[in-house]
A and B are shown apart, each in its own frame.
Chain A
């Protein structure tokens, strides 16, 4: 079965000087939930941005392909690419407090993609939005549709963003640390909501996070990133049973366990970091030759 999203040999750099992503290969099949983990600066968010076409201006794609539903994004005209991404993919952003436009009402922010990009009738988009708000368990959806973002809580706003992401029935959703900015109590509900929605709609999910605890709850497969290089690509069962890379094993050792909250944590040992850095250097040398 061919994957819905395929990334092949993706190299992204900062103005051609500093490598950000190093020949990344990644595939997400229809309905698959893939975790994308790594520490800060590993480039995990940049993969999501590359897919959705929102890389910062200073970053450029040096080489490699991104295939979304079989279409090579780099070869498309910008307008067609945007529309394809808008129709088939969606983003659940990290911070619900900044991801809704404070000057616009909630309703249009959910329905705009349906009407403007996908050509739905306004009434159909409206009832779809109400239905989705109901689905993410927002009480009184009519009132919420008329509200401005500042009138709603962070948890509410993240539910709205989730509803909005699912509105066009995308085949792939990129969730960029969707629970990081939330209260711990709300985190759990939101995580469960994303998992339920994903299961119900059969959407593929690329879940960007640094939290292995979250990964174990929601993901089926996992990609471990270090310095923009894919260190490991595996299933959840294999990863937690026997991580295939020393860095993965060290990450796992550095994750607090719910079963043993007072157990001591081992930071990633320097030797492992040195080894991973050596791997990056070796990769860069091989590329230059």
Chain B
């Protein structure tokens, strides 16, 4: 299938997915016990106060009606107003998105670099103690979930040997002369490395906690497929040409072994983004995940709805990106 047609098809399925997510979330958050009105009522409020508030937020109508009203707004770019802050949902969500994106991408980079190095080292020194050590470390990293890694890291580098910041995104006493909220990115562009260092010092531990399990998965899978590839005939042929082990691993085996890993990294990266919800809470990091938890606690229905839709959009975009990268790396898929 030509690439354009494939893209178009993906776009259509993306909309279907988003619509499905919207319906499910919309219904679920209205059906589960607890409602926003109860949260904002002062003690001793009467029955008509409740009715008036319900009418104010449009919660007196039936769920299908509410959904249609919401959908109509969304189609015009209006995701509603947050019940707790009275600000437009879109504005709120977009203000937090950059923080979460920077955190997840940083975690992804750490995971890919660490996992890749471990896999290559394990393959280079296969059959020895180093490989056994890597396998043990992988097992440990995988069997502990990211939020526990977060706690371990806080203990190690926040309390016992306090080298990193354990709370927030940036130190409150720093002036941010930035025009976007991609602070980390913009601090590099503006050559403000003092701010950059402060941001990294805040972001490093949450990113590492998110990255550790993913790094282990990458290391394990990539090492496995590298080792399988090392037995193939074209690798042997390259050896007879005079190439050494390092060259053979990197140029002959890696381009082929990386393909199955890539698919998995895509899926796992979406899990990682899901993991930011708890990790951001743990490190009081001002991202989407943290906002999502507050929104759920306050039953801020429009905000929950907006955040979930945004997460769904990110997930589908990540999957699309993986597919495109896969096609770019695998010559057998490039044409036709």
Interface residues of A (CB under 8 A from B): 52-54, 57, 78-79, 82-83, 85-87, 89-91, 93-95, 98-104, 112-113, 116-117, 148, 150, 161
Identity of the chain B residue whose Cβ is nearest the Cβ of A84 in the assembled complex? B242
- CA A212 to CA B256, docked complex, whole Å: 37
Chain A CB within 10 A, most for which of B236, B241, B247, B252: B241
Partner of A82, one of B236, B239, B332: B239
- CA A87 to CA B241, docked complex, whole Å: 7
Contact A116-B240, Cβ < 8 Å, known A100-B234, A101-B252, A102-B256: no
Identify 21 residue pairs between A and B in the complex whose beta-carbon atoms are under 8 Å apart, listed by A's number: A52-B240, A53-B239, A54-B236, A82-B242, A82-B243, A83-B242, A85-B242, A86-B242, A87-B242, A93-B236, A98-B232, A101-B238, A101-B256, A103-B256, A103-B330, A104-B255, A112-B238, A116-B247, A117-B241, A148-B332, A150-B332
- How many whole Å from A231's CB to the nearest CB in chain B? 27
- CA A89 to CA B240, docked complex, whole Å: 8
- How many whole Å from A166's CB to the nearest CB in chain B? 13
**Please, which residues of chain B bring their CB within 8 A of the CB of A99?**
233-234, 237
Identity of the chain A residue whose Cβ is nearest the Cβ of B239 in the assembled complex? A54
Cβ of B43 < 8 Å from any Cβ of A? no
**Please, which residues of chain B bring their CB within 8 A of the CB of A89?**
240
- How many whole Å from B205's CB to the nearest CB in chain A? 37
**Please, which residues of chain B bring their CB within 8 A of the CB of A100?**
234
**Please, which residues of chain B bring their CB within 8 A of the CB of A85?**
240, 242
Cβ of B244 < 8 Å from any Cβ of A? yes
Contact A93-B332, Cβ < 8 Å, known A57-B127, A103-B256: no
**Please, which residues of chain B bring their CB within 8 A of the CB of A94?**
233
Contact A148-B331, Cβ < 8 Å, known A54-B236, A57-B127, A101-B252: yes
**Please, which residues of chain B bring their CB within 8 A of the CB of A95?**
233
Given A86-B243, A94-B233: 10 more A-B contacts, CB < 8 Å: A54-B239, A54-B240, A86-B242, A89-B240, A99-B234, A101-B238, A102-B256, A113-B242, A116-B243, A117-B243
- CA A83 to CA B247, docked complex, whole Å: 13
Identity of the chain B residue whose Cβ is nearest the Cβ of A168 in the assembled complex? B241
- CA A104 to CA B234, docked complex, whole Å: 11
- By the criterion of a CB under 8 Å from any partner CB, how many residues of chain B are at the interface? 21
- How many whole Å from B254's CB to the nearest CB in chain A? 9
Q: Is the CB of A117 within 8 A of B242?
A: yes
Q: Is the CB of A86 within 8 A of B256?
A: no
Q: Is the CB of B234 within 8 A of A101?
A: yes
**Please, which residues of chain B bring their CB within 8 A of the CB of A87?**
242
- CA A161 to CA B256, docked complex, whole Å: 20
- How many whole Å from B332's CB to the nearest CB in chain A? 5
Interface residues of B (CB under 8 A from A): 127, 232-234, 236-244, 247, 252, 255-256, 329-332
Chain A CB within 10 A, most for which of B232, B233, B237, B255: B237
**Chain B binding site: helix, strand, loop or mixed by DSSP?**
helix
- How many whole Å from A175's CB to the nearest CB in chain B? 12
**Please, which residues of chain B bring their CB within 8 A of the CB of A78?**
244
Partner of B237, one of A57, A79, A93, A116: A93
Identity of the chain A residue whose Cβ is nearest the Cβ of B127 in the assembled complex? A57
Identity of the chain A residue whose Cβ is nearest the Cβ of B329 in the assembled complex? A103
- How many whole Å from A127's CB to the nearest CB in chain B? 19
- How many whole Å from A21's CB to the nearest CB in chain B? 18
Q: Is the CB of B232 within 8 A of A113?
A: no
**Please, which residues of chain A bring their CB within 8 A of the CB of B244?**
78-79, 82
Q: Is the CB of B331 within 8 A of A103?
A: yes
**Please, which residues of chain A bring their CB within 8 A of the CB of B242?**
82-83, 85-87, 113, 116-117
Q: Is the CB of B331 within 8 A of A86?
A: no
Identity of the chain A residue whose Cβ is nearest the Cβ of B256 in the assembled complex? A103
Chain A CB within 10 A, most for which of B233, B238, B252: B233
Chain B CB within 10 A, most for which of A52, A90, A102: A102
Q: Is the CB of A102 within 8 A of B243?
A: no
**Please, which residues of chain B bring their CB within 8 A of the CB of A103?**
255-256, 329-331
**Please, which residues of chain B bring their CB within 8 A of the CB of A52?**
239-240
- CA A100 to CA B241, docked complex, whole Å: 13
**Please, which residues of chain A bring their CB within 8 A of the CB of B240?**
52-54, 85-86, 89-91
Identity of the chain B residue whose Cβ is nearest the Cβ of A89 in the assembled complex? B240
Chain B CB within 10 A, most for which of A53, A95, A100, A113: A113
- CA A116 to CA B241, docked complex, whole Å: 10
**Please, which residues of chain B bring their CB within 8 A of the CB of A93?**
233, 236-237
- CA A98 to CA B236, docked complex, whole Å: 10
Chain A CB within 10 A, most for which of B242, B255, B330: B242
- How many whole Å from B303's CB to the nearest CB in chain A? 46
**Please, which residues of chain B bring their CB within 8 A of the CB of A117?**
241-243
- CA A203 to CA B119, docked complex, whole Å: 41
- CA A53 to CA B330, docked complex, whole Å: 30
**Please, which residues of chain B bring their CB within 8 A of the CB of A86?**
240-243
- CA A57 to CA B128, docked complex, whole Å: 12
**Please, which residues of chain A bring their CB within 8 A of the CB of B329?**
103
**Please, which residues of chain A bring their CB within 8 A of the CB of B241?**
86, 90, 112-113, 117
Contact A102-B236, Cβ < 8 Å, known A87-B242, A113-B242: no
Identity of the chain A residue whose Cβ is nearest the Cβ of B253 in the assembled complex? A101
Identity of the chain A residue whose Cβ is nearest the Cβ of B330 in the assembled complex? A103
- CA A57 to CA B127, docked complex, whole Å: 10
**Please, which residues of chain B bring their CB within 8 A of the CB of A113?**
241-242
